[in-house]
Every structure is written in structure tokens, then in C-alpha cells.
Structure 1
């Protein structure tokens, strides 16, 4: 089975690398020449055009920004796909878009899987969590490849078309709230009743990860961030968002499901962009950089 990866950024290149390490032949395309050169160093064979590449691969993995970029890729590659090709959208597409794309691809004779992908910059070495929606038979066909890309026990078929991106959307909304909870707690430790004693936040974050109820990977990353710098005077507090959290809020409102914690975390990000944020949002910005490579503002 040959896989072609369209979009060779951090995640796309890492996904291709894991497939290469498992013995698969992986082709790759990106508009950025540096990304192609880096991918080639990882064992991925770069191509200059998508159309010349996709006809040689049974599986096409799309890793580009949500929205029009995905549609543009599909329009370009459909005429060149081999019969029976399986297309996987591994980005953060809106679930309703994925449902529509799956129907369109089915009508043209191709399977389309929507794959929520989590793992960030650590996924290259540790494997990704893959939440897959779509045709079960197509999923079973690519299961060996997906297992090679995923962390141990880190892949599952979660439902029909759209379900993979829906589950990832909810995952990201939970992530928003969890980041805020940790960050606000550490702001309270820094600026609350014991502010004059300059509590060692790095020591506390490490302590909590040894037996405390709130221990987690996010807390491990928080310790890493605070061990480098606890003042954060040279970090901007603006926290961007990809849209998945807001989509989750829209869906919750549409079904009359209260999600006040998630809703407040979205409002906090909006507030941080308008005002520059505070100590807590600085921590969130640094955590997003730590697990996902997202940029943050340096002062």
C-alpha cells in the first residue's frame, strides 16, 4: 500500500515519517520547498504537483487547513485518483463539511474518511490519537496503516462520516477548558493570598504530578514551561483559536446542551486577543506552543 500525504507541515510530515518507519512507501506534496526538503530527509518522496502524485497511491492523506483548502485539494486530485482510492482528511475540518465531502466522494466512486488527529509535535515519536469516521470497510482496509501512525491503542472507528471530526471537535473544546483551569489555578498561586511568598510554581506543578488527583500530561507540560520561567514577563497573553471550540459551542447551543466551562474558555480567548490577556493566558499560549507548536507573541 502506497500513501500520499498532501501538506507536509509538522503534523503531515510526522504522519508520513511514522508510515515510512513502518515500511510503507510514502509520497508527499507541499507548496513550500523547505517542507518538501525536510520530508525527503524523513524518507518521504516529494512530488512537484498533486496531480502527478496521487495516481500512484491507494491512500491519500490530506493535512491542510480546514475549509476551502480541503475543497481545493479535492477538486484538483479527483480526476487523477486511481480506482478504489481512499482519501483521508486528517485536519480539523468541520464535521458537517466532512459529511458533505464524503457524499460527494462516494458519488464519484471513492471512499472518504474523516480523521480527527491529536498528538501535536510529540506524535512523531510517540504516535497519534486517530479518531476516524466514515465507511467501515474503507477503515478496515487502511487499519494496518493507521495503526502504524497511531500510538498504541490510539486509533478507533468512532462512527459514520463526520463522526471523526465531530469527536475531535469535542476533544479540542475539552482541551480549551482544561488549559484554562490549570492556567487560572497557577495565576491564583502566583497572585493570590500567598503572592508575597513567591511560591515555587515549578515545584508545585511537579509535586502535583506525583499522586495528586489532577496529575496529567498537560500538567507535565506546565511544569516544563514554569521550570524555564515563572515570571513570563516577555510572553504575550494573546491566545488564538482554530475554530473547533466555537463549532462545539454552536453544536451545544443547537441541542440545548449547557457547556458553560467550554463557553467561558472561548470567551477568555476572545478577551485575550482584544486586551493582551493576563498571566493565565500567557500560560495557555505557552502550553499550546509546547504540545502543538503554535506560535505565541514575544515581548
Structure 2
């Protein structure tokens, strides 16, 4: 099949490569000229506008977006709408909010266009290992694009599924990422405890590698943890600052809206937010309150004089 890939970043470029390795033809578009040049050198056809990309694809067209969620994705969706023709299919493989995907599907349907939301997991390893694809939308375009999904997945018969109507793909991916937050946080906390027990002289990489075999906590995340600890057991050069791309926030908000208790995912998200506070006002206030009611000592900040609470 022929497909247009818009967004040739870390995942988009690798997905395009995996498709081409399976015999599919890919026309690529990216805002960065150097990225387009590299893609062309890798065997793809690159263009510098959405209009040119659409012109080079046979009908019914397939266009796949791998762009950051939010304004960038919406802008491109709006730009593509008048360029596409009835029967064409647009796939949003980024991490869009599921309600946006439901709205976009309805809008595209008014123009007889197919819109699929595809939650995509696999990260930078997807090129070699394959991607897990959670697909939402109508059945007919999913069936037509089956060869594409089969090529991207770890194997033709596993790792991809049509999980429900419009929005279901991105909703599933949102929950997936919330679970991911919790699993990562648990591993991080556990290895932090191991590393602090200095009198036992524990080799954290050895333990991580040990747990990969036969343990009930063995997982790909543990494999990656073991690899990171092998190369850098002291985690030197890494700042204790953890970003989030939004899915965890959405998952927590949905849990609240649905009256679902999700303390692990919620606390994992809050820990990421906390990691970004190098000069925590809240922690300073806690120390001040303990000093005021109980005379408990605090560590002074010599750059600013301490004023006790009344």
C-alpha cells in the first residue's frame, strides 16, 4: 500500500521505515528540511507541504499523523480536510485526547472521510520490536488498512486490534500510559530503597537483571531499568526532573469523572510534578510549621533569613 506519513520525528520516521521494510511505499512530510532529506536518503519520498503529499497519493488515500497532541495536530487536521476526497482515511497515531478524536471523527464523517484514532505504543524500539496499536473508528477503513497495521505490529496476528468506535483507540492509550506511570514509579521507588541500603553493598544492576528471570515483576520496563543501571548505576548526569506528555493527567481526570479510585496512577503523576520543584515552597512551609509548633530544627537556607510563623 501507499501511505503519507506526516511527522518524521523519533516515532514517525521509525514507523515509516518499518512500513517500507515490509514493502509499503511512504511519502513523508516534516516541518524540518533536514529531516525530510534524511528520510529521502532512507528510501522514502519527501515533500514540503500537505498539498503535495495528498497529490502524490493514489485514491482512496491513507494519511497517518504522528504529531504532538494539541494545536499542532489540530492545525494539520484542519489543513488536510479540504485537500482530501470522499473515501480517504486519516489516521491520528499521536497521543491526542480521546474526546478530540471523537469530535474530529464526526467532522470528517460529514465530508465522507474516514477518521481513525490509533493509540501507538512502542517508543524508539518500535522499528525493531514492532508497535502496539489500539485502533478506534469504523470497521471498514480498519479492514482496508489491515496490511498497514500488520506491518507495524510485532507480528501480523498480534499487537494490534480494533478496540472500538471513534475515541476508543486514544482512550485505551490514555489508560495504558496511566498504568505505565504507576509501574515506572513503583520500579523507581523500589530501586531507590535498594540503593539507600549502603551497608549491604547491593549491586542494583545485578538485582534488576536477576528479577528479569522468573520473577513476577519481570517486564519490558524492568529490562530497560536493568539496561540503564548497567551503563550508569549511579545515574550520573541525569537531573531528577521527570516530564509528562499529558496522558497521565487525562487518565486521572477520567478516573475522577467516572468515580474510579486510581491512587497509584494519581500519585505517580504527582511525583512527576514534584520532581520539577528544585526549591519547593510547600516543603519549606512544612519545615517552618514544625519549627513553630514544636521547636523542631530545620536546615537553614543561608540565602534568605528565616522568619518564624506567629
Of 64, 69, 72, which aligns to 1:69?
72
1:34 counterpart residue number: 34
Give the total of aligned pairs.
275
Choose which of 173, 176, 183 in structure 1 pairs with 2:188. 183
Greater shift, 73-82 or 117-126, is seen at 73-82
* Counterpart contact for 2:85–2:113, Cα < 8 Å: no
- C-alpha distance in 2, partners of 1:276/1:138? 51
Give 1:42 shift.
2.5
Which residue of 57, 68, 86 corresponds with 1:83? 86
- What is the alpha-carbon distance in structure 2 between the residues aligned to residue 275 and residue 269 of structure 1? 12
Contact kept in structure 1, 2:86 and 2:111, CA below 8 Å: no
**SS of equivalent residue, structure 1 residue 275:** coil
Higher relative contact order (CA 8 A, sep 6+): 1
Please point out which of 155, 160, 171 is paired with 1:155.
160
CA deviation map 1:236-264 (0-9, x unaligned)? 01000000000000000001100000000
Identify the match of residue 215 of structure 1 among 215, 218, 225.
218
Following the alignment from structure 2 to structure 1, what is the Cα–Cα distance between the partners of residues 110 and 54?
A: 19
Q: Tell me if 1:92 matches 2:95.
A: yes
What is the CA deviation profile of residues 114-161 of structure 1, one whole-angstrom value per residue up to 9, with x for unaligned ones?
Answer: 000000011011110100000111101101111111112111000000
User: Secondary structure, in 3 states, of the residue corresponding to 2:206?
Assistant: helix
Equivalent residue in structure 2 for 1:167, among 167, 172, 176: 172
- 1:76 is paired with a residue whose SS is helix
CA apart distance, 1:56: 3.1
Q: Distance in 1 between matches of 2:26 and 2:32?
A: 18
SS state at 1:172 partner: helix
Aligned equivalents of 2:189 and 2:42: distance in 1? 39
Q: Which residue of 2 aligns with 1:242?
A: 245
Conserved 8 A contact 1:62-1:90: yes
Per the alignment, residue 196 of structure 1 pairs with: 199
Name the residue aligned to 1:3.
Answer: 3
When Rg is computed on C-alpha atoms for both structures, the one with the higher figure is 2
Structure 1 runs (4+) deviating above 3 angstroms are: none
Question: Could you list the runs of 5+ residues in structure 2 that have no partner in the other structure?
Answer: 281-310
Match of 2:54 in 1: 54
Q: Which runs of 5+ in 1 are unaligned?
A: 278-299
For 1:33 and 1:222, the matched residues in 2 are separated by 35
Distance in 1, Cα, partners of 2:38 & 2:124: 15
Inter-partner Cα distance in structure 2 for 1:69 and 1:109: 23
Taking the aligned partners of 1:130 and 1:23, their CA distance within structure 2 comes to 19
Tell me which residue corresponds to 2:304.
none
RMSD value over aligned CA atoms? 1.3
141-150 vs 171-180, which deviates more?
A: 141-150
Looking at secondary structure, tell me which structure has more helix per residue.
1
1:17 aligns with 17
Correspondence for 2:302? none
